[in-house]
């Protein structure tokens, strides 16, 4: 399923939206203006953008601690996202969730998650709903290489395949779980190998190449919507920043040279070169996209800063229905 020109521009937009939001959020965190821990998505944009380009608000996703990018690609609005990161009443979670629990049910986003590996079983539940109600909706679960070592992933994969659920398991293999390299946390190189053990296809794709991600996801989602069951899609990618926060260089657990190698394959730069070559989007047009998004990000930050903090009287709201 090759993307048409509009789709290419749409994927580009989604990627740039993530990049600019995350870069600015990182600066705010460094300046102490956003409390708590931020796990930023910079470097992995092609994965969220390439997959979300296939989804509507009716489709569900589960995310991870590194969840801003998924929500943005799913249509998250900057103002309400920043408000949540700032802990304001106008945030998507009314300030109760913050970065690690950011969600928007209306967009089909079943939450970022503070618990590694918690998403896949929940996506199985959403896919179960899709099948139960005889819809053509799908549930996509994003998780890391590290998360693929949690029992929860394995139980979810088995159930999804057993029940032929319309689910897509997206492993964003960025080579590290926190500060531990993949070679030190699992004895395999390709997480996709695990698919065979559950009776679903395992597909490996270059996670820095948004078109490759788009095409592979398209085939898997078509299969899912046709009732043929789940797929495990492994996207080989890299996070440009540290596990938490912004710093990407000078880290003890990986080399700067390794980062630089991956940065040469920056998903946005590669994509922009390709779009320019194809005549789909010129460098000038791309720059305009960046500028427009930056303005929207700044407006979002301003909205957040001017928003009230939650009223303490709301502390016990929403514990129960």
Partner 1 sequence: MAEAVATRELTYVGAIAEAAHTVLAEQDTAFVAGEDVAGAGGVFGSYRGLLDAYGEERVIDTPISEEGIVGLAVGAAATGLRPIIDIMFMDFMGECMDEIANQMAKMRYMFGGSASLPITIVTMSGGGMNMAAQHSQSLEAWICHLPGLKVVAPATPHDAKGLIIAASRDDNPVFVVLNKLSLRNTGEVPEDSYEVPIGKARTVREGSDLTIVTYSRMVHEATTAAEALAEEGIDSEVIDLRSLQPMDTEAMVASVQKTHRAIVVHEAVRFGGLGGEIASQIQELAFDYLDAPVARIGAPFSPVPFAANLEQAWLPNAPKIVAAAKELLGSE
Ligand X SMILES: Cc1ncc(C[n+]2csc(CCOP(=O)(O)OP(=O)(O)O)c2C)c(N)n1
Nearer to ligand X, 38 or 200 (CB): 38
Task: Indicate the residue among 57 and 309 with the shorter CB distance to partner 1.
Answer: 309
Determine whether 74 is exposed, middle or buried from the number of CB atoms within 10 Å of its CB (0-12, 13-18, 19+): buried
DSSP string, 93-136: TTTSS-GGG--BGGGTB----SSTT-HHHHHHHHHHHHHHTT--
**Interface characters, 81-100, with partner 1 (x: CB under 8 A):** ------xx----x-xxxxxx
CB of 31 to ligand X, least distance (A): 23
- The pattern of x and - marking residues 129 through 148 that bind ligand X according to CB under 6 A reads --------------xxxxx-
The yes or no reply on residue 145 touching Mg ion (CB under 5 A) is: yes
Question: Edge to edge, what strands does the sheet with 139-144 contain?
Answer: 60-62, 139-144, 167-173, 231-236, 202-206
Residue bearing tokens 């740039």 = 16
For residue 144, state whether it binds Mg ion (rule: CB under 5 A). yes
- Contact of residue 233 among Mg ion, partner 1, ligand X, none (CB under 5-8 Å per partner type): none
Binding segment toward ligand X, per CB under 6 A, in 102-110, 176-184, 192-200, 220-228 = 176-184
Binding span for ligand X by CB under 6 A among 62-70, 87-95, 122-130, 227-235: 62-70
| Measured CA angle at 249 (ends 23, 69), to 5 deg | 30
Q: Which of 176, 214, 262, 303 binds ligand X (CB under 6 A)?
A: 176
Backbone phi and psi for residue 256, each to the nearest 5 degrees, phi listed first: -65, -35
Q: Which listed option, ligand X, partner 1, Mg ion, none, makes contact with residue 66 (CB within 5 to 8 Å by class)?
A: ligand X
Q: Please tell me the distance from the alpha carbon of residue 63 to that of residue 81, in angstroms, as a whole number.
A: 15
According to the binding rule CB under 6 A, does residue 65 interact with ligand X?
yes
Q: Does 115 bind ligand X (CB under 6 A)?
A: yes
Of the two residues 12 and 88, which places its CB atom closer to partner 1 in the complex? Answer: 88
Beta-carbon count within 10 A of 66 CB: 27
Residue 151 interacting with partner 1 (CB under 8 A): yes
At closest approach, how far in Å is the CB of 109 from partner 1? 16
User: Per CB under 6 A, does 114 bind ligand X?
Assistant: yes
Site for ligand X (CB under 6 A): which residue of 7, 63, 99, 174?
A: 174
Return d(Cα 2, Cα 4) in angstroms, integer.
Answer: 6
- The residue whose Cβ lies closest to ligand X is 144
CA distance 194 to 146: 13
Question: What is the nearest approach in angstroms of Mg ion to the Cβ of residue 292?
Answer: 31
For position 116 contacting partner 1 by CB under 8 A, the verdict is yes
Among 146, 207, 229, 230, binds partner 1 (CB under 8 A): 146
CA dist 296 and 299 (Å) reads 5
> From the CB of 173, what's the least distance to Mg ion, in Å?
7
Distance CA 239, CA 259 (A): 9
DSSP calls for 252-317:
TTS-HHHHHHHHTT-HHHHHHHHHHHHTSS-HHHHHHHHHHHHHHHHHHHHHHHHSPPPPGGGTTT
* Residue count (the chain): 321
116 binds ligand X (CB under 6 A): yes
Q: How many CB atoms neighbour CB 179 within 10 A?
A: 12
> Rule CB under 8 A: which residues touch partner 1?
35-37, 87-88, 93, 95-101, 113-117, 146-147, 149-152, 177-180, 184-186, 252-253, 309-310, 312, 314-316, 319
> Rule CB under 6 A: which residues touch ligand X?
64-66, 114-116, 143-147, 174, 176-178, 243
């Amino acid at each position: 399923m090759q993307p048409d020109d509009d789709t290419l521009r749409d994927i580009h937009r989604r990627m740039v939206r993530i990049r600019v939001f995350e870069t600015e959020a990182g600066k705010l965190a460094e300046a102490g203006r956003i409390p708590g821990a931020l796990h930023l998505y910079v470097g992995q944009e092609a994965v969220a953008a390439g997959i979300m380009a296939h989804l509507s608000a009716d489709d569900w996703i589960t995310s991870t601690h590194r969840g801003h990018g998924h929500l943005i690609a799913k249509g998250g609005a900057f103002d309400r996202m920043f408000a949540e990161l700032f802990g304001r009443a106008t945030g998507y979670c009314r300030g109760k969730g913050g970065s690690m629990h950011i969600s928007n049910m209306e967009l089909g986003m079943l939450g970022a998650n503070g618990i590694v590996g918690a998403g896949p079983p929940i996506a199985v539940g959403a896919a179960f709903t899709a099948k139960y109600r005889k819809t053509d909706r799908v549930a996509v679960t994003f998780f890391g290489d590290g998360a693929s070592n949690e029992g929860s992933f394995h139980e979810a994969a088995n159930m999804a395949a057993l029940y032929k659920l319309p689910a897509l398991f997206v492993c964003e293999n960025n080579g590290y779980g926190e500060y531990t390299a993949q070679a030190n946390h699992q004895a395999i190189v390709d997480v996709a190998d695990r698919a065979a053990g559950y009776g679903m296809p395992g597909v490996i794709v270059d996670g820095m190449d948004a078109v490759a991600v788009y095409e592979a996801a398209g085939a898997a989602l078509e299969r899912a919507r046709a009732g043929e069951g789940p797929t495990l899609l492994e996207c080989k990618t890299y996070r440009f920043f540290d596990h938490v926060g912004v710093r990407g260089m000078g880290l003890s657990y990986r080399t700067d040279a390794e980062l630089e190698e991956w940065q040469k394959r920056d998903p946005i730069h590669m994509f922009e070169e390709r779009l320019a070559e194809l005549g789909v989007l010129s460098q000038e047009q791309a720059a305009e996209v960046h500028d427009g998004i930056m303005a929207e990000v700044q407006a979002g930050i301003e909205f957040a800063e001017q928003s009230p903090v939650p009223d303490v009287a709301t502390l016990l709201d929403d514990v129960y229905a």
